[in-house]
Structure 1
Amino acid sequence: MVSSSSSATALAPLGPQVTEKLTRDNYVLWKAQVLPPITGAQLLGILEGSIKDPPEILEIIKDDKSKETVSNPAYSTWLAQDQQILAFLFNSVTKDALGQVATLASSAEVWVALENMFFAQSRARVTHLRMQLSTLKKGNMTTSVYFNKMKAIADELAGAGKKVEDDEMISFILTGLDSEYNPIVTSVMGCTDQISLSELYTQVMAYESRLEMLHDNSGPQYQSSANAASRG
């Protein structure tokens, strides 16, 4: 016999909302923020669909062998938990993303829909950003502008959940330097101690200043030598 009376399970709080709302570029980071509170509340099975919704109505057999239909308390508990997750997801996405899933009724449906919409976009974005990072050249940019551009790309990658470690970032920066910076590249590559990004920035800035000074000084000297040779 199934009892028709049961107290609802208290809902575990999911904690504060995520700091990075879901966009087309940060799905990986967003997912990394969303999963821990849901897992911690022991609701992951509902989110991923492995815990299906139980029957809403139960048929019980009474002592006199007659049958009676009653509401299933397990369904009420499941529904409350599912809607708690659903509200958490809705509050963690941007307005544009919400518009794509607002009509879906369960957290599992929303989870699958968001993955289908944003995972491929996020992966493509990460690939594009890493290509930018590996191909960007300093060229005529100042050291400050060059480093800021590289850092902006790295920040976007971090926002997509793919942080670039300092040693890899240094390799990208060195690769983008022109041949006139070979002494710096050789020095850093030959150094046995790990150099920080700030130290590399300082070295490149100092070297750039030295190059500019030599360039400014060589102009008049070269011109005087050329004039003397002409007069001779």
Structure 2
Amino acid sequence: MASPSKQEKKEKTEVADQEHLRVLASDNPGASLVKNLLDGMNFLSWNRSVKIALGAKMKLGFINRKNPKPSKTADEYEQWTRADCLVFSWLLNSISKDIVESFRYINTARELWLELEARYGTSNGPMIYQLQREIASATQGTLTVLAYFGKLKKLSDELSCLVSIPSCRCGASKETADLPVADNLMQFLVGLNDSFDHVRN
């Protein structure tokens, strides 16, 4: 089998470079990217779900600056505008109707994303407080051990996204990173029902 020519390689590279601009017939602008719409209180989990969905559709670059708006004279300007409108529409459809109206007149998906981050994503203090409070008060109750573990894991994962641990090259960095793991284990044990006293001891 003959190896591909330089021209064929160049064409494949150009197609791959333009993949983010493709809009498929199945790309419905009326669709929502996520099941749980942004309501102002769930930005962290909503943000992550939207990024995963856009990444799967090869459209993440429209919100993270990897696919910047080309000049109006560029060949791909019309294609870029069409794809950006699609992403913009998906984002709007992923926001609760109670808050979406204040975002309708923003121009691009990137500008909308920055506005959402500024409004709902920068004030981590109250979110950190709420998560730590939920973790501290979590108990097994009527949950199965597996469901209780899943609940605590979700809360601690959300918290770790908000609280960054400084890194260094010394051994202290690893020890510092291990602290939340030990805390999570202790909280899990504390919240277990009394029937698990033998596990705690």
TM-score interval, normalised by the smaller of the two chains: 0.5 to 0.7
Encode CA deviations 1:132-179: one digit per residue, 9 max, x unaligned.
431579xxxxx66xx7xxx89x8699489739x9956632415xx8xx
Query: Which of 78, 100, 108 is the equivalent residue of 1:98?
Result: 100
Give the match's secondary structure for 1:17: coil
Whether 1:45 aligns to 2:47 is no
Aligned with residue 188 of structure 2, among 159, 170, 181: 170
Partner of 1:65: none
Aligned partner of 1:189 in structure 2 is 200
| Aligned position for 1:195 | none
Distance 2:190 2:119 in 1: 31
8 Å Cα contact 2:70-2:80 kept in structure 1: yes
Q: How many angstroms apart in 2 are the aligned matches of 1:101 and 1:35? A: 19
Name the amino acid aligned to 2:158.
K
Aligned to 1:35: 51
* 1:25–1:158 CA distance, 2 compared to 1 (3 A): farther
Q: Measured at CA, do residues 127 and 103 of structure 1 come closer, stay the same or move farther in structure 2, by a change above 3 Å?
A: same
- Post-superposition CA distance 1:172-191 (Å, at most 9, x none): 415xx8xxx6x953x2213x
Superposed CA deviations along residues 110-145 of structure 1, whole A, max 9, x for unmatched, are: 1011111112356623432322431579xxxxx66x
Following superposition, the deviation at residue 19 of structure 1 comes to 0.8
Q: Quote how far apart the aligned CAs of 1:74 are.
A: 1.0
Larger radius of gyration: 1
Percent identity over paired residues? 15
**Distance in 2 separating the partners of 1:99 and 1:91:** 11
Q: Distance in 1 between matches of 2:190 and 2:41?
A: 22
In the TM superposition, residue 29 of structure 1 has moved relative to its aligned partner by 1.3
Change (3 A) 1:157 1:115: farther
TM-score (norm 2): 0.58
Q: Which residue number corresponds to residue 64 of structure 1?
A: none
Matches within 5 A, 1:1-232: 10-12=22-24, 13=27, 17-56=33-72, 58=73, 72-121=74-123, 124-135=126-137, 158=154, 162=158, 170-174=188-192, 185=197, 187-190=198-201
Q: 1:102 to 1:109 in 2, by over 3 A?
A: same
For structure 2, list consecutive stretches of 5 or more residues without a partner in the other structure: 1-20, 160-180
Determine the C-alpha separation between the residues in 1 that align with 2:64 and 2:51. 11
Equivalent pairs, count: 152
Structure with greater strand share of residues: 1
Q: Give the conservation status (yes or no) of the 8 Å contact 1:86–1:106.
A: yes
Superposition TM-score, scaled by structure 1 size:
0.51
